[in-house]
Chain A
Amino acid sequence: MKRREFLTLPAAAIGGTLLYTLAGEPMRLQAQNGTVRVPLRFFTAEEAKVITAACARIFPSDASGPGATEANVVIYIDRQLAGPYGRDKYRYTKGPWVESYPEHGYQGKASPSETYREGLKMLGDFASLSPANQDAKLRSIEKSHFFQLLRQHTIEGMFCDPMHGGNAGLIGWQLVGYPGPQMSYRNEVDKHFGQPWRPKPASLEQIAGRPGKPWEDEKG
């Protein structure tokens, strides 16, 4: 059996976040000594560092706001790749493996998890490059299927419900001013004309009053 790998993250980002074990049981992470150790399902710790660094260039963190690192995008990607999605649950996978029109989407053989293994080879020692060199590296692979997936997954990990592992602390929703999956705007929809409406966002767990369960763990 594979040695369990962990990703060590600053507690400020992740303390109190709900994650799911391999058995699908909810597990509340608590900050200890300023860091938390998150068990990885797909990546090795070294791979997770590379993906974290790449996502941080796609959705950076700087003085003007938080980004993919604070949202734990890498945890989201790790869980997706370890689950049915990573094994191509949603795509017809019997060939003929020929690319043609954009509407067909990716028609190659590799599953998302295989695409990441290849992509990690392309990224190499990405985490140790300077930000400018990291951007140059990403630009050089911008047309690849791997980069398209990485960009898509960074966006999903920024803005998904936190039960999927990303959007930690609802950072993504706060960043863009999305209140989360509110069950009613009946009292808001014809008000705030032209004005921002920024209540404290709520996750599905907070709205339902009980932990949600990511469906990719429910179905094969």
Chain B
Amino acid sequence: MATEKTDVVIVGMGAVGGILAAELGKAGMKVIGLERGPRLSTADFSGQDELRYFQRQDLRPNAKRQPVTWRASANAAAKPLPILNYGNQAGGGTVHYGAVSWRFHEDDFRVRSQTIQRYGSSAIPKDSSLIDWPLTYADLEPFYDRAEYELGVSGKAGNLEGRKIEGGNIFEAPRRREYPLPPLLADQSGLIFEEGAHKLGHHPFSTPRAILSQSYHGRPSCTYCGFCQAFGCHVGAKSSILVTKLPEADATGNFKLLTGTMCFRVNSDNSGRVTGVSYYGPDGSTNTIEAELVILATFIYDNTRLLLVSKTRKFPNGLANSSGQLGKHLMAHITPRVFATFEDRFVNIYMGPNAQKHSLDDFNADNFDHSGLKFIRGGQISVSPADLEGGPIGAAMSMNPPPGIPRWGAAYRDFLAKYFARYAAVIAQTENLPYADQTIDLDPTVRDQWGLPAPRLTYDWRRPNELARIEFLTGKLEQLAAAMGATRYWRSPMGAGAPGAHHEGGTRMGDNPKTSVVNRYGQSWDIPNLFIIGSSTFPTMSGFNPTLTIQALAYMSADAIVNRYKKNPGRLV
């Protein structure tokens, strides 16, 4: 059993951990990073094998060793989910994500007050725990800017300091300057999506992505090979934490990364402070790190689980959980899809970055009038391959054949043979509301490879507001498919309530210690030398992918720690 002392220990080296490690290391703080997976490099991603990376999800957590269970309601028995949609190596999900990089809208930070102001409080479902964020878009804008420029994001501004610009996302919140890199080239699916959207009077644009459209900071530009989502980038053009912040952290000389290590407890004393963490080493050994500052930067499952398993006499319901909010308000994107096939044209959708290639924002957030509709909020709409991955296994496994075509036999073979190069999927990604009874807790029976209780999700998106939102958006997808010139389009069946991609919640932030786990900086209200940072702190989720907002929050927390907390280690709010 080894014991080490350091200034800061960060658990999880993904989107958040890499940024904190680099920024705190630069400020002279000694940082140890714990990462349960390996540290891979760009050279490891030379063989883009669809079976390995997409079908068997080789860069994702192994569901056998790291199970996560789900049940639709508190009355049902939870069982392990077969596929886990988050990271499992240094760089976390940014290694194998589609790299879609949005700033949230201004109203995404004040959903409750925006809704009441425009539609009255009766528009909010009674069982929803909808709140505003304890910060505004303007507070976060400098850190969005920093994330885009330091990491490298390609896109076109649609709102420069209030000036709307056609061709960019005119619904975006005002930004101080252009993106650091021009938008990625549109592939054919993007072009027909744009044409169809224009016919309907919508405002399409090239999706902003953390993928280099030109060489930047010594890294080469994208080759348009199409292996992004589920794959590591073979040239390092994807601005993952692996090729951006981890090398910066290394260069500080103050950073040590321990891979293959599983943190199993946050240690605390009776004075109301945390003293460090305990972890299992790659060899199964039990080790301890004593640290002045502990930062939890894992995916939302482990941010919650670590606090629950670290309970003490002082915090019998989970460390830093005097509010009772720990593990509550789990949210996830749900993605209705419409598949479209074309008789008169090829689309060759396997070319180019494969996730949410071209987008429109007309039906997201409060960008449209919801009067008379039976729901609030909306979703982002984009064009993609069937499951955001361009290969033929992905297309066949993810695309249910249209009505009249069987799932096997000669007619199915002919369907794939004719339409693999002539199809596109139009996809909505919906903002779902927070509900206190959508939770993460500890599974009573299922344990992971380290003997820790598996995270258990209790979640069902099939609520009236969510069902109405999805039906509305699916109708928009069908209109788009028709306007794009599809000769046939059909819906993908919806699931039975399980959470989709991009989970949020569990350690929600707020401006009141009685109703939230952390403050705007991710600092625990109960324990000032404990920070919890990531999408687990999101009070609401937005219809946009969360990563850039996670990264902006990480920069904001790093800034507060370096410039304020380091001098005066106490509550920042």
Give residues in A with beta carbon < 8 Å to B. Answer: 57-60, 62, 64-65, 67, 85, 88-94, 96, 98, 100-107, 135, 138, 151-152, 154-156, 158-161, 163-164, 172-173, 175-179, 181-186, 188-190, 192-197, 204, 208, 212, 215
- Closest CB in chain B relative to A186 CB, distance in Å: 5
Give the residues in chain B near A62, CB-CB below 8 Å. Answer: 410
Residues of B within 8 A of A160 (CB): 49-51, 393
Do B417 and A192 touch across chains, with their CB atoms under 8 A apart? no
Q: How far is the CA of A194 from the CA of B421 in the complex (A)?
A: 10
Report B-chain residues with C-beta under 8 Å of the C-beta of A102. Answer: 495-496
Q: How far does the Cβ of A136 sit from chain B's closest Cβ, in whole Å?
A: 12
Enumerate 14 A-B pairs (CB-CB under 8 Å) in ascending A order. Answer: A64-B410, A88-B64, A100-B76, A103-B495, A105-B81, A159-B396, A175-B416, A181-B48, A181-B227, A185-B352, A189-B185, A189-B187, A212-B49, A215-B49
Q: Could you count the A-B residue pairs with CB atoms below 8 Å apart for me: how many are there?
A: 180
Query: How far does the alpha carbon of A100 sit from the alpha carbon of B70 in the complex, in Å?
Result: 11
Instruction: Check B188–A194 contact: CB distance below 8 A.
Output: yes
Chain A positions within 8 Å of B146 at CB level: none
Q: How far is the CA of A46 from the CA of B103 in the complex (A)?
A: 59
Contact A57 B409 (CB under 8 A): yes
Q: With A58-B409, A92-B80, A192-B188 as known contacts, state yes or no: A159 contacts B393, CB within 8 Å.
A: yes
The answer to the question of B62 belonging to the interface, with a C-beta cut-off of 8 Å to chain A, is yes
Q: Nearest CB to that of A173 among chain B residues?
A: B392
Q: How far is the CB of A91 from chain B (nearest CB, A)?
A: 6
Residue among B64, B77, B446 with max Cβ neighbours from chain A (10 Å): B64
Shortest CB distance A178–B (Å): 5
Most A CB contacts (10 A, CB to CB) among B50, B414, B496 go to B50
* Chain A CB within 8 A of B218 CB: no
User: What residue of chain B has the Cβ atom nearest to residue A95's Cβ?
Assistant: B445
Complex alpha-carbon distance, A192 and B72, angstroms: 46
B201 sits at the interface (CB 8 A):
no
Give Cα A185–Cα B228 distance, bound, in whole angstroms. Answer: 13
Question: Could you give, for residues 114-137 of chain B, a 1 whenever the CB lies within 8 Å of some chain A CB and a 0 otherwise?
Answer: 000000000000000000000000
Q: Is the CB of A172 within 8 A of B80?
A: no
Q: Is the CB of B408 within 8 A of A57?
A: yes
Would A155 and B393 be within 8 Å (CB), given that A85-B56, A92-B64, A204-B49 are in contact?
A: yes
Q: Do A64 and B64 touch (CB < 8 A)?
A: no
* B63 in contact with A91 (CB, 8 Å): yes
B420 touches A176 (CB 8 A): yes
Interface of chain B, main secondary structure: loop
- Provided the pairs A57-B409, A103-B81, A189-B187 are in contact, do residues A155 and B396 lie with their beta carbons within 8 angstroms? yes
Minimum CB–CB distance from B209 to chain A (whole Å) comes to 14
On B, residues with C-beta under 8 Å from A are: 46-52, 55-58, 62-64, 67, 70, 72, 76-77, 79-83, 185-188, 191, 222-227, 234, 344-346, 348, 350-352, 391-393, 396-397, 407-410, 412-414, 416-417, 420-421, 445-446, 495-498
In the bound complex, do residue B51 and residue A65 qualify as a contact, i.e. CB atoms below 8 Å apart? no
Minimum distance in angstroms from A100 CB to a CB of chain B: 6
Q: Is the CB of A176 within 8 A of B416?
A: yes
For A65, the chain B residues whose CB sits under 8 A away are 413-414, 417
A197 adjacent to B348 (CB under 8 Å): yes
Bound CA–CA A182/B82 (angstroms): 30
Which residues from chain B contact A173 at a C-beta distance below 8 Å?
392
The reply to whether A208 and B46 form a contact with Cβ atoms under 8 Å apart is yes
> Given B81, B188, B223, which contacts A193 in the complex, CB threshold below 8 Å?
B188
* CB neighbours of A135 from chain B (8 A): 409
Let me know if A212 and B47 touch, CB within 8 A: yes
Contact between A101 and B496, CB atoms less than 8 A apart: yes
Further pairs besides A101-B497, A204-B47: 14, Cβ < 8 Å? A59-B412, A65-B417, A91-B63, A135-B409, A163-B49, A164-B51, A176-B416, A176-B417, A177-B420, A177-B421, A184-B223, A185-B225, A189-B224, A192-B188
**Contacting residue for B351 out of A88, A151, A175, A189, CB 8 A:** A189
Q: Which residues of B contact A155 (CB under 8 A)?
A: 393, 396-397
- Which of B51, B55, B58, B446: most chain A Cβ within 10 A? B51
Complex alpha-carbon distance, A190 and B52, angstroms: 29
A28: shortest Cβ distance to chain B, in Å?
19
| Bound: A101/B462 CA distance, A | 13
CB distance from B384 to the nearest CB of A (A): 15
Q: Report how far A182 CA is from B410 CA in the complex, Å.
A: 28
**Distance in Å from the Cβ of B408 to the closest Cβ of chain A?**
4
**Chain B residues within 8 Å of A105, by CB:** 81-83
> Which of chain B's residues has its CB closest to A93's CB?
B64
Q: Give the distance in Å from the alpha carbon of A129 to the alpha carbon of B352 in the complex.
A: 46
**Are B64 and A91 within 8 A (Cβ)?**
yes
Q: Is the CB of A185 within 8 A of B223?
A: yes
Q: CA–CA, A104 to B495, complex, Å?
A: 10
Residue of B nearest to A213 (CB): B47
Do the beta carbons of A183 and B77 come within 8 Å of each other?
Answer: no
Contact A92 B63, beta carbon cutoff 8 Å: yes
Contact between B187 and A190, CB atoms less than 8 A apart:
yes
- For A215, give its contact among B52, B226, B393 (CB under 8 Å): B52
Kindly list chain A residues whose C-beta atoms are within 8 Å of the C-beta of B55. 156
A172-B70 Cα distance, complex, nearest whole Å: 36
For residue A139, give the distance in angstroms from its CB to the closest CB of chain B: 10
Inside 8 A of A106's CB, which chain B residues have their CB? Answer: 82
Q: A67 contacts B413, CB within 8 Å?
A: yes
Residues A90 and B56 in contact, CB atoms below 8 Å apart: yes
For A204, list chain B residues within 8 Å (CB). Answer: 47-49
CA distance A191 to B59 in the complex (A): 32
Sort A-B residue pairs by CB-CB distance and give the 10 closest, nearest first: A103-B498, A194-B345, A176-B420, A105-B82, A184-B223, A92-B80, A159-B392, A185-B351, A181-B48, A185-B224
> Do B67 and A92 have beta carbons less than 8 Å apart?
yes
When the two chains form their complex, are residues A104 and B79 in contact, meaning their CB atoms are under 8 A apart? yes
The answer to whether A98 and B79 have CB atoms under 8 Å apart is yes
Chain A neighbourhood of B407, CB < 8 A: 151
**B82: chain A residues within 8 A (beta carbon):** 90-91, 104-106
Q: Which residues of B contact A91 (CB under 8 A)?
A: 63-64, 80, 82
Given A156-B51, A204-B47, A194 contacting B344 (CB threshold 8 A): yes
**With the chains together, A192 CA to B345 CA distance in Å?**
10
A89 partner residues in chain B, CB cutoff 8 A: 62, 64
Interface centre among B191, B234, B416 (most CB of A within 10 A): B416
- Cα distance A104–B392 in the bound complex, in angstroms: 24
Q: How far is the CA of A159 from the CA of B55 in the complex (A)?
A: 11
Between A98, A105, A154, A194, the greatest number of chain B beta carbons within 10 A of the residue's beta carbon is seen for A194
Minimum distance in angstroms from B81 CB to a CB of chain A? 7
Q: Among the listed B226, B391, B412, which residue makes an inter-chain contact with A159, where contact means beta carbons less than 8 Å apart?
A: B391
Cβ-defined contact, A104 with B80, below 8 A: yes
Closest CB of chain B to A7's CB: distance in Å? 21
Bound-complex Cα distance A212 to B49 (A): 10
Establish whether residues A178 and B350, one from each chain, have CB atoms under 8 Å apart when the complex forms: yes
